[in-house]
Structure 1
Amino acid sequence: MKRTMLPTWLCIPFAAVALAGFPAEAAEVSPEAVQLHERILVLDTHLDTPANLRRPGWSIADRHDHDGAFSQVDLPRMREGGLDGGFWVIYTGQGARDAAGNRAARDHGLQRLLAIREMLAAHAGDFELALTADDAERIAASGKRVVFLSMENASPLAADPSLLSAYHQSGLRMLGITHTLNNDFGDSSTDPKGAEWNGLSPAGRALVAEANRLGIVLDASHASDAVFDQLLTLSQAPIVLSHTSADAIYDHPRNIDDERIRRLAAKGGVIHVNAYGGYLIPVPKLAEREAALAALSEKYGPDSGMNAAQIQAYLQESERIDRQYPVPRASLDDYLRHLLHILEIAGPEHVGIGADWDGGGGVTGMESVAELPKITAALIAAGYSETDIANIWGGNLLRVLRQAQQVAGAAGDIK
């Protein structure tokens, strides 16, 4: 189904996490772990890679290690790391919520959708759009990479919520309600102003019903606890957290508590564990560092408009800021603490991987998708079976998608 070449790092030991059920001795990505990883369907629920698709001179077909955190997913490293694909994100930052801002969000979302469809057309031999769980299995078996579509932040729909149907017809199969700020559909977990709607707005509740009608999986990542609770109650199909970590390991508003993880599992949902360092460990905010990084961002402008030379210049200046104002950086062990804790709470039938690649994810010891077999090796070392690992890497996600589409089918809609 996938590649057979083994990258040189695969036999390098990495530190295991000292948790109940997980051996504290060093673990290796053994040939057996690689073979298991190759046999199963490996999907990630949150790939922010579409942000790179229109970057000057950037191609999904080329390897971009030299771009550091700017680029963590491309076809060569997907092959190396055994990533069969996943959900490619139509992300829109939350802007002004007036008529002009809503139109800008609408246009941005459609442009991001178009960029993904352009990638599919330009690389039809390597990537294929998936609309169903069966599609994903067939596409991966053919040697191509799976492209599901998701939306992070429903703000492109604020000007016209009926656009959700058009997005569905274009392939959208997952919908996240909010991002870092409240929007017209609900409250964010991190808006400094606090709750505006005490969960979902009336428009948000209508959006939930429409997503159910269409067979679109609802995603509660970034949303407030109240939104999560209401989604669990209102949705006729299981919901997911596409990229969220454990509040019990690091108490952060973007993470979720154990009681809600248990309720998610009881309703058949899945939590996909995030590798965004600031949600894994405490990272202090240094005023001087924040000011320097803000000035750097202003100097170079939006990431999507930077060419290769500008990226390298940015990286050099950013490294100087890191040396001048160092802060802790999350490690693979930190990530595994969250993953293994959530597995203990939810069970392997309700956990997946959504590392937030190209959206700030990645940790020391796992910098890109080329290193994904390290997660499989850690799961083996923790005692999980091949069936469990296959479910974590894709089976649980596909089950939820099937259930969402069955709910829609029962209502008489065609997927």
Structure 2
Amino acid sequence: MKANFRSSRHNVKAAANKGKENSSMESLVHNDLPWNIRKFVHNQLGRFNFSDDLTQIDPWSKSNWSHTDLPRLKAGMVGAQFWSAYVPCGAQHMDAVQIAMEQIDVIKRMTQIYSNDLQFVTTVAGLKEAHKSGRIASLIGVEGGHSLGSSLGVLRMFHGLGARYLTLTHTCNTPWAGCCVGNDTTEPEGLSHFGRLVVRELNRLGMLVDLSHTSFRTMEHALNVSTAPVIFSHSSAYAICNSNRNVPDYILKLVALNGGIVMVNFYTYFISCNQTATMGDVIAHINHIRKVAGEDHVGIGAGYDGINTTPDGLEDVSKYPELLAALLATGDWSEEQLKKLAGLNMIRVMTRAEQVKDNWEGEGVTVVEELLAASVPKPPSDCVYDT
């Protein structure tokens, strides 16, 4: 007999509280709050109180893009966040590297200011330690390969500052990787030789390769190159909504072979291909990815604070228990399977990436020093030192 929704929600909370030490039911998801901090208060954290109910405070309360604050994270039983160091495509070949650095800075400062509730982590061991202390593990993902300025040295510096994944593209091609929207014949549809070196260097560093926003060809190339599991930090199933931001079935099968994970996005246009969607629509995407790739290769990506329309019932970060309860109530998901969906699958991927790093280090695999050379477009400025 299927459990009713209320008792299922109680079971989800009980399981989460019982299993905190093992990351149990607490979500490990993608969140764009740092960009809103830049957009609304210009990264001046003295003008931002994360402990407030931001639904009552301007400009957050008036924005369709705002879904996150500490009270709602706690209500949502969120145990870990990948905070996105996002850079708009308009900054490519301009100040993208600087903006990425500033976004990494604001994430790290936020975790320091709110250290009673947040803990900055860079490893699986750190994540588990944060859970034991009752704090939200806070990790950094750099969203958009254009943030590198086509420099592997910059990538290594991002890693040194604590970034643990790189989204290879955003909604623009880079000189070495194709994105999900449109094609410019002067730039690759997939990964160029240099793009493959970016993936290799990510593996060597122990940083995750994130394929959300990339073209199907880039997805294929990266999956063929990467030794470590890849992630889709916030993408859904193409078979249900045929947006190029979603993942087609043949790629889902490759993700399973690679050992990676696809984390479902909540943006309505990627869920229902329309301006409205329901929690049931999100569940359909989760179940489809599970059916094609397997229960070990699906997670929750959401994308809160980076989307402006959300499904009914999933309006903000407080709603994760509602989703898990709804899945439990279907009778198709056990508590152990929901633990995988909510966090354990992602932790397995991170653990494997760390193992690849350690193995390569033990084998003496060296740093990639190759340059992109003359194919890098010149920035629209004379203020560039050309060596």
State the TM bucket, normalised to the shorter chain.
Answer: 0.7 to 0.9
**After superposition, what is the alpha-carbon deviation per residue over 1:70-123, rounded to whole angstroms, capped at 9, x for unaligned?**
32111111111101122111111112644xx2xx10111011011111111211
- Tell me the CA shift for residue 196 of structure 1: 2.7
Segments of 5+ residues of structure 1 without an aligned counterpart are 1-21, 284-327
- 1:49 alignment counterpart: 33
Q: Equivalent residue for 2:316? A: 368
Partners of 1:197 and 1:277 in 2: how far apart?
A: 29
In structure 2, what is the equivalent of residue 65 of structure 1? 55
Change (3 A) 1:196 1:375: same
1:270 aligned residue: 261
Q: 1:212 and 2:206 equivalent?
A: no
Residue equivalent to 1:300: none
Shift of 1:43: 2.7
Q: Report the Cα distance in structure 1 between the residues aligned to 2:109 and 2:201, rounded to whole angstroms.
A: 27
Work out whether residues 170 and 179 of structure 2, in 8 Å CA contact, stay in contact via their aligned partners in 1: yes
Q: 1:231 to 1:379 in 2, by over 3 A?
A: same
Tell me how far apart the structure 2 counterparts of residues 97 and 171 of structure 1 sit (CA, whole Å): 22
Assess if the C-alpha contact under 8 Å between 2:314 and 2:323 holds in 1: no
**1:157-172 correspondence to structure 2 within 5 Å:** 157-158=148-149, 160-172=151-163
Counterpart residue number, 1:30: 9
SS of the residue corresponding to residue 355 of structure 1 reads strand
Per the TM alignment, residue 140 of structure 1 is displaced from its structure 2 partner at its CA by 1.3
- Taking the aligned partners of 1:343 and 1:30, their CA distance within structure 2 comes to 21
Give me the whole-angstrom Cα distance separating, in 1, the residues matched to 2:251 and 2:328: 26
Asked if 1 retains the 8 angstrom alpha-carbon contact of 2:272 and 2:281, the reply is: yes
* CA distance in structure 2 between the partners assigned to 1:42 and 1:69 by the alignment: 25
Contact 1:97 1:184 in 2 (8 A): no
Shift of 1:387: 1.6
1:153 aligned residue (138, 144, 161): 144
1:53–1:60 Cα contact (<8 Å) kept: no
2:280 and 2:27 mapped to 1: Cα distance?
A: 21
The worse-fitting range, judged by mean Cα deviation, of 156-165 and 405-414 is: 405-414
8 Å contact from structure 1 (residues 53, 116) kept in 2: no
Say which is worse superposed, 48-57 or 202-211, in terms of deviation: 48-57
Aligned to 1:88: 83
**Structure 2 CA distance for aligned equivalents of residues 195 and 27 of structure 1:** 53
Q: Which residue of 1 aligns with 2:296?
A: 349
Equivalent residue in structure 2 for 1:400, among 349, 357, 360 = 349
Q: Which amino acid aligns with 1:337?
A: A
Q: Distance in 1 between matches of 2:260 and 2:150?
A: 30
Cα distance, 1:254 vs. partner?
Answer: 0.9
Aligned AA (2:279): L
- Of residues 270, 277, 285, the one that matches 1:330 is 277
Distance of 1:392 and 1:173 partners within structure 2: 20
Instruction: Compute the displacement of 1:37 (Å).
Output: 3.6
When structure 1 is superposed on structure 2, of 184-193 and 127-136 the one drifting more is 184-193
Distance in 2 (alpha carbons) for counterparts of 1:386 and 1:74: 27
**Residue 160 of structure 1: CA displacement?**
3.0
Partners of 2:207 and 2:186 lie apart in 1 by 26
Shift in alpha-carbon separation, 1:138–1:351, aligned structure 2, 3 A: same
* 1:127 corresponds to: 118
**Which residue does 2:381 correspond to in 1?**
none
- C-alpha contact (below 8 Å) 1:185/1:203 kept by paired residues: yes
CA distance in 2, matches of 1:387, 1:199: 37
Unmatched tracts of structure 2, length 5 or more: 42-46, 365-387
Secondary structure of 1:30's counterpart equals helix
CA contact (8 A) 1:246 1:341 kept: yes
For 2:286 and 2:4, how far apart are their aligned partners in 1? 18
* Equivalent-residue separation in structure 1 for 2:34 and 2:213 (angstroms): 19
Q: Distance in 2 between matches of 1:394 and 1:407?
A: 20
Q: Name the aligned partner's letter for residue 233 of structure 1.
A: N
TM-score if structure 2 supplies the norm length?
0.84
Instruction: With the length of structure 1 as denominator, give the TM-score of the two structures.
Output: 0.78
**Deviation of residue 363 (structure 1)?**
1.6
CA contact (8 A) 1:151 1:172 kept: yes
Amino acid aligned to 1:44:
L
Quote the offset at 1:332 in angstroms. Answer: 1.5
Q: From the superposition, tell whether residues 266 and 59 of structure 1 become closer, same or farther in structure 2 (CA, over 3 Å).
A: same
- The equivalent residue for 2:227 is 236
1:379 alignment partner in structure 2? 327
Counterpart residue identity of residue 83, structure 1: V
C-alpha distance in structure 2 between counterparts of 1:198 and 1:405, whole Å: 29
What is the aligned partner in structure 2 of residue 305 from structure 1?
none
Aligned residues: 344
Q: Mark the CA change 1:399 to 1:105 in structure 2 (over 3 Å): closer, same or farther.
A: same
Query: In the superposition, relative to structure 1, how do residues 163 and 41 fare at CA in structure 2: closer, same or farther (>3 Å)?
Result: farther
Q: What secondary structure does 2:84 align onto?
A: strand
Give the ranges of 4+ consecutive aligned residues of structure 1 lying more than 4 Å apart after TM superposition. 192-195
- Structure 1 contact 342–351 (Cα < 8 Å) conserved: yes
> What per-residue deviation string (whole Å, max 9, x for no partner) do you get for residues 327-376 of structure 1?
x4122122111112112222211111000010006322110011111111
Q: CA deviation at 1:261?
A: 0.7
**Taking structure 1 as reference, are residues 195 and 234 closer, same or farther at Cα in structure 2, changes over 3 Å only?**
farther
Give the conservation status (yes or no) of the 8 Å contact 2:9–2:321. Answer: no
CA distance in 2, matches of 1:381, 1:253: 31
Whether contact under 8 Å (2:176, 2:187) holds in the other structure is no
- Structure 1 residue 195, shift from structure 2 partner: 8.2
